[in-house]
Amino acid sequence: MGHYLVTGGAGFIGSNFVRHLVATSDHTVTVLDKLTYAGSRASLAGLPEGRIRLVVGDICDAGLVDELVSGADAVVHFAAESHNDNSLNDPSPFVQTNLVGTFTLLQAVRKTDTRYHHISTDEVYGDLELDDPERFHETTPYNPSSPYSSTKAGSDLLVRAWVRSFGVRATISNCSNNYGPYQHVEKFIPRQITNLIDGVHPKLYGAGLNVRDWIHVDDHNSAISTIIDKGRIGETYLIGADGEKSNLEVVELILTLMGHPRDSYDHVNDRPGHDMRYAIDSTKLRTELGWAPRYTHFEDGLAATIDWYRANEDWWRPMKAATESKYAKAGQ
């Protein structure tokens, strides 16, 4: 049995990772989360109190971070500002959390020689053309296009530098777009699902041609555990499930699975600076560490996600009206 410190563990991917740890191990967990709009105590509801402790605080608080890291066997760093549109409206929280926060954690694990895993995104690589056969891999040059992706790219480079310069025992994973339970309704898939539950047409950005490589959050988290257990220190692993779908395909599939005509959606203004296509090559992770996704068909994972949002309206309802009001002001 070990003790994990999970930053951002009350957010979407982080809370699902905590649930994964509880279900698959006997580890205890301290969650450090600022509980911004994207984090919620409700996302940790029902977990055994004897194994989970929530500390409300900021990863930029060096004293608090040092204290929590000193009692941990491993640190898994999810905490991040992560919405591209928000980063265009105000980049400053992205610089603070994604860069200064990562620096603070790296300094702490450096002092204690604590195992550290850094969660990142495929958006650090920029985007690909729709007709490009290439996919992102571990040696793809960084080419971020937004305050969000550039601060995540910077945080990745800090980790690599602390490994090389100070011997920090760290690994990095860059993952494609996640979907699944406990995802904020501002995000693309839960927004469409909850709109349909409310009798509102889904919203399609522009022509809907933009492509994302979708992975269920449970598969992302099983990959993280595999990397922590088996990954080579200093290495980066890309996580993906071969789930490339255009936004139009996703909306049409949600409509079909929820019993509506495939064309029952509204076109809205495209997102500013909307990257065209992301695609992950996860060969290294699969061949070196033996990982494979559970949801090999996107439709199966999406159906399970729809079922979850139908069954858990009490979780997402409190944030829905404010989210839609914000989108309406942007013409989306």
Catalytic member of 33, 58, 123, 252: 123
How far apart are alpha carbons 30 and 155 in whole angstroms? 22
Mean pLDDT over 146-173 rounds to 97
Does the annotation count 49 as an active-site position? no
Residue 301 has pLDDT above 90, yes or no: yes
Q: What is the mean pLDDT of the chain?
A: 95
pLDDT: which is higher, 207 or 174: 174
Check residue 89 and give its pLDDT.
Answer: 85
Q: Is the pLDDT of residue 272 over 80?
A: no
Say if residue 139's pLDDT is above 90. yes
Phi-psi region of 34 (alpha: psi -120 to 50; beta: other; left: phi over 0): alpha
Cα Rg, the chain, nearest whole Å? 19
Residue with tokens 């539950």: 197
Q: Are the CB atoms for 168 and 116 separated by under 8 Å?
A: yes
Q: Which residue has the tokens 């049409």?
A: 252
Query: 66 catalytic, yes or no?
Result: no
**What integer is the mean pLDDT of 84-92?**
84
* DSSP alpha helix (H) spans, the chain: 12-24, 62-70, 84-89, 92-94, 101-112, 147-166, 188-197, 217-230, 247-257, 283-289, 298-311, 313-329
Query: 30 to each of 52, 56, 70, 96, how far by Cα in Å?
Result: 6, 10, 12, 22
Q: Which of 4, 148, 179, 205 is catalytic?
A: 148
Give residue 270's pLDDT.
Answer: 83
Give 268's strand partners: 205
DSSP assignment of 255-301 equals HHHTTS-TT--EEEPPPTT---B--B--HHHHHHH----S--SHHHH
Distance in angstroms (rounded) separating the CA atoms of residues 316 and 190: 9
Residues in a beta bridge with 53: 30
Mean pLDDT of the region 138-164: 96
Q: What is 3-178+215-239's CATH number? A: 3.40.50.720
Contact criterion met (CB below 8 Å) for 209 and 247: yes
3.40.366.10, 3.40.50.300, 3.40.50.720, 3.90.25.10: CATH of 185-212+243-278+297-320: 3.90.25.10
* Gap between the Cα atoms of 219 and 240, Å rounded: 9
Q: How far apart, in whole angstroms, are the C-alpha atoms of residue 229 and residue 199?
A: 45
Residues of the chain with CATH 3.40.50.720: 3-178+215-239
User: Which residue out of 81, 122, 218, 219 is catalytically annotated?
Assistant: 122
Least confident of 47-51, 179-183, 272-276: 272-276
Q: Among 66-70, 89-93, 235-239, 304-308, which is the least confidently predicted range?
A: 89-93
pLDDT in tens, 10-61: 999 999 999 999 999 999 999 999 999 889 999 999 999 999 999 999 999 9
- The pLDDT score that the predictor gives to residue 133 is 92
pLDDT of residue 37: 86
* pLDDT (0 to 100) of residue 294: 97
In which residue are the tokens 């919620």 written? 40
Confidence of residue 274 (pLDDT cuts 50, 70, 90): confident
In tens, the pLDDT along 215-271 reads 999 999 999 999 999 999 999 999 999 999 999 999 999 999 999 999 999 998 887
- The answer to whether residue 313 is catalytic is no
Per-residue confidence (pLDDT) for residue 269, from 0 to 100: 84
Q: Delimit the CATH 3.90.25.10 region(s) of the chain.
A: 185-212+243-278+297-320
Distance CA 81, CA 66 (A): 21
Average pLDDT over residues 283-311: 98
In DSSP terms, which residues pair with 227 in a beta bridge? none
pLDDT computed for residue 85 by the predictor: 75
